[in-house]
Structure formats: C-alpha cells, structure tokens
Amino acid sequence: MKLISTSACPHDCPSTCTLDIEHDDKSIFKINGNKENSYTKGVICAKVSRYRERTHNKNRLLYPLKRIGEKGSNKFQRISWNEALTIVSKKLLKIKKAYGSESIWPYYYAGTMGLLQRDSINRFRHEFDFSGQYSTICNTLPQAGWMAGVGSLMGPDPREVKYSKVIIMWGGNPASTQVNFMKHVQNARKKNNAFLIVIDPYLTKTAKIADLHIKLRPGTDGALACGIMKHLIENKKIDEKYLEKYAKGLSKLKTHLLKKDKNWASKISGVTYEKIITLSNLLSKTKKVFFRLGYGFTRQRNGSFNMHAVICIPTLLGAWKELGGGAFYNNGGIYNINKNLIEGLNYKNENIRMLDQSRIGPILNGDKSALKNGVAVKALFIQNTNPLVVAPETVLVRKGFQRKDLFVCVHEQFLTETAKYADVVLPATSFVEHNDIYIAGGHQHLTFGPKIIKELGECWSNNRLINELSKKMGSVKKEFSFSEEEFIDNTLKLSNLGSLKELKIKKFIDLQPEFNTSHFINGFGHKDKKFHLNAEWKINNKTFNKQFELPDHYDLIEKSSKKFPFKLVTAPAHNFLNSSFTETNASKSIEKKPKIKIHSKDMEKLNIKNNEIIEIGNNRAKLKIHAEAFDGILPGVVIVEGVWPNECFIEGLGINSLIGADSPEPFGGAVFHDSAIWIKKIIC
Ligand SMILES: Nc1nc2c(c(=O)[nH]1)N[C@H]1C(S)=C(S)[C@@H](COP(=O)(O)OP(=O)(O)OC[C@H]3O[C@@H](n4cnc5c(=O)[nH]c(N)nc54)[C@H](O)[C@@H]3O)O[C@H]1N2
Ligand SMILES: Nc1nc2c(c(=O)[nH]1)N[C@H]1C(S)=C(S)[C@@H](COP(=O)(O)OP(=O)(O)OC[C@H]3O[C@@H](n4cnc5c(=O)[nH]c(N)nc54)[C@H](O)[C@@H]3O)O[C@H]1N2
Ligand code: SF4
Ligand SMILES: [Mo]
C-alpha cells in the first residue's frame, strides 16, 4: 500500500525543503514539495523530485567491500559486515598504538545534513582522541565576513521578501542552488512589483530573470560595495540617525571612502561608474531593500572582507529595521541545538590538533604546517564527502590517497572516486532509510525525517556504523548503544525543543525569532550591540585588524597576468549537488559534459571554435575540456559549472586540480572561484 510521509531534503542546500514522499515499505516513488511549509511552499528542485532514481539506483553500494587490486583500480571483493568491522577496528587500533591517536583522521562533510547522521562521526572522534576537523570547505569565508559586521548568525526572515521593493542577490545563484527562494522572489515581483538585482560575474539562471544584472570581475565585490557606499555618502543618502544608534565606525568609513578616486571602483570591478550610480540610486529609493548574500562571491582569497564590505551597505541605508529590509546570509545561529550527546562533546579533548578539511591535499602529502607540526595522517575514516572530487588541488589529494602507508575506510552510498581508493568500503543508507532531524541555513524550520523504507541490501546508517565500530574498538559508554530515536529525542529535550513524539506529530517547527531580534532592533550580536563598519577580525591582533579594518578592495586574489590571463569561476551545476547526482542518468544527461564558458572575443583571439577540445591550466595542473562560446561574462573571465567526477574529463583530471589549497585570511576556507589560468588551443 502506498503512503505519503513528510521528510526533509538531506542535501547540502540552504533550502532544506520539506518533502512529501510517496512510498511503500520497500520503495519510494514520487517526491513533491510540501505545501504547508511556509518556506518550501510546494516547490522543490527537479533533481530531488526524481530521487527514486538516486535511492533505487542500480549502482547503489549494497554490501561491504574489501580492496583486492591497486588503490583506485576499482577491484573489490564482497565481505560480511563482521569481517569489515574486524578489519577496520584492528587496523585503527594498530595505527593508534604505533603512531598515536592523532594519526587517525575521521573526515566528513554534509552529504547528509541530518544532525545525527552527519555529526555522529565526531562522537567517534572524541571517544578515541582522533585528530579534529576544521570544516572550512563551505562557510568559513562568508561567515567570517558576516560575523565581523553583524556579530551573530541570523537575519531577517527570508519569507519577508514578499514585502521588499528591491531584492539584491549578491554572489549567489538561487535559481540553481536553492530554487524555492526564487518562488518567494517571484511572488514579491508579482505582488509587490519588487525589482530584482543580481551581482554575478556571469549570466546565471538567476541573472537571466533579473531586472538588472551587474557583471563584475571575480573577487572585486569589496570595490563595488565601496563604490556604492561612496556615492551614498556623497549624496547624503545614508540614514545618519540609524547609524548613530546602531553602528560603529561611521566617521572612519566616511573619511576612508571619500579619499578614493571617482573611478577607483570601476577600474577594479569592471562595472562602469554609471552602473554604480544606478545601483546606488536604486538601493536608496526605498528602505525595503533585501540583500540575499550567496556563498559564491566569498570563495575568493579576499572573500571574507568582501562579505563584510557588502553588508555595510544595508547598514548605511538603515534597511535592517524595515519589514522586507536588511540582509540575510544564514540562520545557523537561531537553533541552539545541544550537540553534546550526538557529538560526545563532554569527552572532547581540547588539546587535540584540528586539521583543515580543505587542505587534505597538503596534509596527506606531509606538509608540516598543514599537519600542525604533528604526526603524519596514517588512516582516514570518511563519511558524507567525496574529497577526491570536491577538495582543492586534486593532484595532491590523489597522490595522498595513493600512499601505500595510508589506510582508508569510506562509508558511502555510491562507489565514488574517493571510495575507489579505499581499503574498505561500507554501504550507507539514504535519507529515507534512516531517522534524523534537520535544521536549515536558508530558513527557520526544524524538520523530522523518518525512516520510511527498509534499508537497501546491507546498508547501515552513519550512526549505526559509528556505534558498532566504537563498541568493537572498546567503547563502553551507554550512548554507543542508543537507537536513532533515543539520540533524537534526547537531543530535542536537551535543546528545549520538545520531544521526538511531539515533532513526529508536527513534522516541522518554525523557529523564526521575533521581528525585533531578527532585524536587530534590540541591537546587533556584538557586545556593544552595534554593527561594526570597522571590523575586528582577530582578537588581540591589532596589526592584522588595522590592515583589514575598513571595507576596501584587498588585493589578495590570484591575479590574471600575461602568463595566466583568465580568471576561472567553478560554479555549481543546476542538475548536480556538488558531486552528488553525478551518478544519476537524468542529471548527467542534461548537464552532458564538462565545458568551459569563454567570451566569443576571447575565443576569436585564441582561434578556438565552439565545442573544440582545448587545454587549460596553471602551476598546479593542466587538463583538457570542451570550449563553449558564451557572452554572458566579461572578456577575461571563464566559467566551468559543476563538480564533475575527474573521470568525466577527457584525461581523467577535473577542475579542482586548478584550485589552490592555501589558507585564505582571516580564518581559512576554500577559494573555488579564485584561480588564474591559461587557455591553449591544441595543435596536433
Ligand atoms: N544545483 C546545485 N545546488 C546547490 C549546490 C550545487 O552544487 N548544485 N551546492 C550547494 C552548496 S554546498 C552550497 S554551499 C550552495 C552555494 O550556493 P551559492 O550561494 O549560490 O554559491 P556558489 O554556488 O558557490 O556560487 C554562486 C555564484 O557566485 C558567483 N561568483 C563567483 N565568484 C564571484 C565573485 O567574486 N563575486 C560575485 N558577486 N559572484 C561570484 C558564481 O558565478 C555563481 O553564479 O549551493 C547549494 N546548492
Ligand atoms: N570546483 C568546485 N568545488 C567545490 C564547490 C564548488 O563550488 N566548485 N563547492 C564546494 C562546497 S560549497 C562544498 S559544501 C563541497 C561539498 O562536497 P561534498 O561534501 O563532498 O558533497 P558531495 O559531493 O555531494 O558528496 C557528499 C557524499 O556523501 C554521500 N552521502 C550522502 N548521504 C550520506 C549518508 O547518509 N551517509 C554516508 N556515509 N554518505 C552519504 C554522497 O553519496 C556523496 O558522495 O564541495 C566543494 N567543492
Ligand atoms: S532545492 Fe535544495 S533542499 Fe530543496 S529539494 Fe532541491 S536540493 Fe533539496
Ligand atoms: Mo557548500
């Protein structure tokens, strides 16, 4: 008999859509967006509506495997769970004894965003004092900039855009990366005649439907923001009364910006002075201006500083206090989930080193500073991520995974490239096969995602594996025998969010803070309750702070040069989610193949034709790819969409081989859209 159950999309997407899933006890069928959820509003992306193809895919991993060929050779043999657990536990205990607990690095990310299945790996880590993970691959750069200005991780309710007069999507592409936000935007345009502005180096799906698209050079948003602010200040369009009460650093900012030449911002950003005036005029016409900040524009070596510069604009305008006004980046700060039980925080050893997730390439190749001058990593235990494809500096990452003295266990739903380098591969459940709870970065709901079908094959959930492996390795703590439901119920109770029984009835709860809190009427998140126009980045580091105190263009990006004339942006693909969905035929057949978008003027200069195979590269690597003529960019900028598996590229090496794994200021991160490259025609 077919049933319909409500759940949450588990993928790493700000939308965390509420889903209505048709299923029986063995299979899922159609998935629709839930209509009662006021953020999802019945809208979900196409790739998840066809999720049956992913869960019931013929290539799902269903049984534990042991490697029998060379690393990466894809030669495996089926083994029992008992044998798998014995191999992994014995090997980890042996390595721990020989090299110390920090030589083992549990490595994870957000393949599922469920709090239990994603974060249980930290309970395993803390129980055995394994190396810590500093998770930088996604939100470190944007968050640092946001926090420097606002001081807390929240903002006006994104559903409020229905009251906005101007919506400015800065450095994000929601039509592809969080589609239901666009439903709210389109409602605002229909019902409130809202004007949509998009700031992006290329004509994305979002930019195509915007009223105004500003194309800029990658990594120059700080300059553009300063150009706008200078014009606002000079033309007395700032809200002095609001600023006096709510902001710190105005006079410094004024002096700093007024010193700049009229054409300074245009020269850097490639946006004409006239367009900057147009922007400034549009933004100051109404206080109901909503800034929706993407992650994309911060994946630059100056990305945190650029985020801070951009969010200073709504502050100068006094937009934060208005219904439908202000800025929104992420709501992570509203939930206050107590993770002690799930993550074993009570037994976390604070002296253990933290290794930077984005620097896995240098780390596995023995880079001393990346290893914090500690022991080499001798074992990786991986859940929820595919670093061979998604992490920067692929050549280094691959070299690391090829090391004969590195033991790797990967728990996965598919035989990803990372799994192919593992010694032991374990099969993981998908979100319909286990229980979890989900919070959302892009809205305000906490949602229960129930187990609605039987596990496929011999798949285990992440939490089950963590419990069983820990016990096998000698753990006796009671929580390592807790069921998923016990973890969830206890966590909800510890967080004062009711019980699992209640959440099962409600399905989701709306935790939006009241207006005065989310609009910072009661003050911003800093101790002095002010928005900081002059930022303090590193506590007790005056030299650093002084250098980057005020919004500016900080020239830290990889610059184009004679040798590397093109700036490369590696934006997400509409039909993939990072490297997920590259295993489904529907998504793959729409995306077709990796391509590089090049301006027709540049194509002409290089004598390259549409669809020609060309070579691109920099000091890190070179690779072959098809060229696509595309005039929705400034000449000198090129775009490759999608985190395609390396094996989909002509010579088996993918786009992240061109991305640096250095650590950007102030707190690290991954600079996926900040690479300078050369492009060559292949002459046979
Ligand atoms: N379909 C799909 N959806 C996804 C994902 C996916 O891979 N595919 N990934 C998910 C994840 S993990 C995340 S974190 C989010 C990210 O979603 P977004 O917030 O949208 O961020 P990005 O996808 O990194 O980049 C978005 C845009 O930033 C632009 N950009 C790059 N550099 C600059 C710059 O210097 N200035 C400006 N103004 N813009 C710039 C790019 O051209 C791109 O169009 O999306 C999630 N949703
Ligand atoms: N070039 C380029 N590279 C990028 C980006 C970019 O914009 N450009 N974006 C970056 C960003 S923002 C991010 S967040 C990262 C994300 O990178 P990843 O976190 O690696 O995301 P995915 O590639 O989707 O891989 C998640 C994996 O988890 C697995 N998985 C899903 N659910 C479960 C589960 O319940 N249990 C287990 N054990 N496994 C599960 C999936 O099968 C999938 O293989 O990629 C980054 N890489
Ligand atoms: S838009 Fe994002 S959260 Fe919604 S269904 Fe698609 S991937 Fe999942
Ligand atoms: Mo991300």
Domains and CATH numbers, the chain: 65-136+336-429+457-481 (3.40.50.740), 142-329+526-547 (3.40.228.10), 566-681 (2.40.40.20)
Atom number in ligand 2 closest to CA 387 = 20
128-164 burial: b if 16+ Cβ within 10 Å, else e: bbbbbbebbbbbbbbbbbbbbbbbbbbbbbbbbbbbb
pLDDT digits (tens, 9 = 90+) for 128-166: 999 999 999 999 999 999 999 999 999 999 999 999 999
The closest ligand to the CA of 590 turns out to be 1
C-alpha 74: how far from chain center: 29
For 47, half-sphere exposure in the C-beta direction (CA atoms, 13 angstrom radius) is: 27
* Ligand 1 binding site (Cβ under 6 Å of any ligand atom): 12-13, 138, 170-173, 176-178, 199-202, 204, 216, 218-219, 221, 294-297, 299-300, 569, 571-574, 576-578, 673
Alpha carbon of 139 to ligand 4 centroid (Å): 7
Residue 412: per-residue pLDDT: 98
Question: Which amino acid, one-letter code, is at 177?
Answer: T
Distance separating alpha carbons of residues 49 and 180, to the nearest angstrom:
13
Locate tokens 């549009």: which residue?
282
Phi and psi at residue 274, in whole multiples of 5°? -60, -40
Q: Please, which pLDDT band fits residue 86 given cuts at 50, 70 and 90?
A: very high
- How far away, in angstroms, is 487 Cα from ligand 4 center? 26
672 within ligand 2 shell (Cβ under 6 A)? yes
- CB-ligand 2 contact for 655 (6 Å cutoff): yes
Pocket test for ligand 3, best of 19, 28, 179, 587 (most atoms within 8 A of CB): 179
Q: Which residues contact 197 (CB under 8 A, 6 or more apart)?
A: 166, 167, 168, 169, 210, 211, 212, 213, 214, 279, 282
Closest ligand relative to 110 C-alpha: 2
| Strands, E assignment, 599-663 | 613-617, 622-629, 637-639
Residue range 541-568, pLDDT digits in tens: 999 999 999 999 999 999 999 999 999 9
Residues 6+ apart with CB under 8 A from 94: none
Q: How far is the CA of 358 from the centre of ligand 2 (A)?
A: 12
Calculate how far, in angstroms, residue 644's C-alpha sits from the geometric centre of ligand 3: 19
Q: Which amino acid is at 440?
A: A
90-124: pLDDT as tens digits? 999 999 999 999 999 999 999 999 999 999 999 99
Average pLDDT of the segment spanning 513-533: 98
The string of DSSP letters for 85-102 reads: HHHHHHHHHHHHHHH-GG
Q: Is the CB of 421 under 6 A from ligand 2?
A: no
Q: What percent of the chain has pLDDT over 90?
A: 99
For a mutational test of ligand 1's pocket, the pick from 168, 297, 357, i.e. the residue with the most ligand atoms closer than 8 A to its C-beta, is 297
Q: Which ligand is nearest to the CA of 206?
A: 1
Structural tokens at position 340: 């002690």
Burial class (CB in 10 A: 0-12, 13-18, 19+), 589: exposed
CA 224/CA 301 separation, integer angstroms: 16
- For atom 38 of ligand 1, which residue has the closest CA? 171
CB 414 less than 6 A from any atom of ligand 2: yes
Question: Is residue 661 scored above 80 in pLDDT?
Answer: yes
- What's the whole-number mean pLDDT along residues 369-373? 98
- Considering only the C-alpha atoms of the chain, give the largest distance between any 2 of them, rounded to a whole number of Å: 73
> CA distances (Å), 497 to each of 36, 84, 338, 352, 449, in order?
20, 38, 10, 32, 16
Pocket test for ligand 1, best of 295, 313, 358, 675 (most atoms within 8 A of CB): 295
Q: What confidence tens digit (pLDDT) does each residue in 428-448 have? A: 999 999 999 999 999 999 999
Q: For residue 364, what are its two tokens?
A: 């596995």
**Alpha helices (H) along 366-482:** 387-390, 394-402, 417-420, 462-472
403 pLDDT higher than 90: yes
pLDDT band at residue 36 using 50, 70 and 90 as cut-offs: very high
Instruction: Please compute the mean of the pLDDT values over residues 241-268 and round it to a whole number.
Output: 98
For residue 293, which of 186, 440, 141, 162 has the smallest C-alpha distance?
141
Residue 683 has pLDDT above 90, yes or no: no
Distance between CA 412 and CA 397 in Å, rounded? Answer: 18
What is the pTM (predicted TM-score) of this model?
0.98
pLDDT of residue 684: 77
pLDDT at 1: 84
> Contact at 8 Å (CB) between 44 and 468?
no
How big is the CA angle at 329 (ends 341 and 503), to the nearest 5 degrees?
40
List, as ranges, residues with CB under 5 A of the ion ligand 4: 138
Q: What ligand 3 atom has the least distance to the C-alpha of 48? A: 5
List pLDDT tens digits, range 260-311: 999 999 999 999 999 999 999 999 999 999 999 999 999 999 999 999 999 9
Looking at the CA of residue 138, tell me the nearest atom of ligand 2.
12
- For residue 175, CA distances in Å to 48, 60, 168, 172 come to 14, 29, 14, 9
464 pLDDT exceeds 90? Answer: yes
Q: How confident is the model at residue 40 (pLDDT cuts 50, 70, 90)?
A: very high
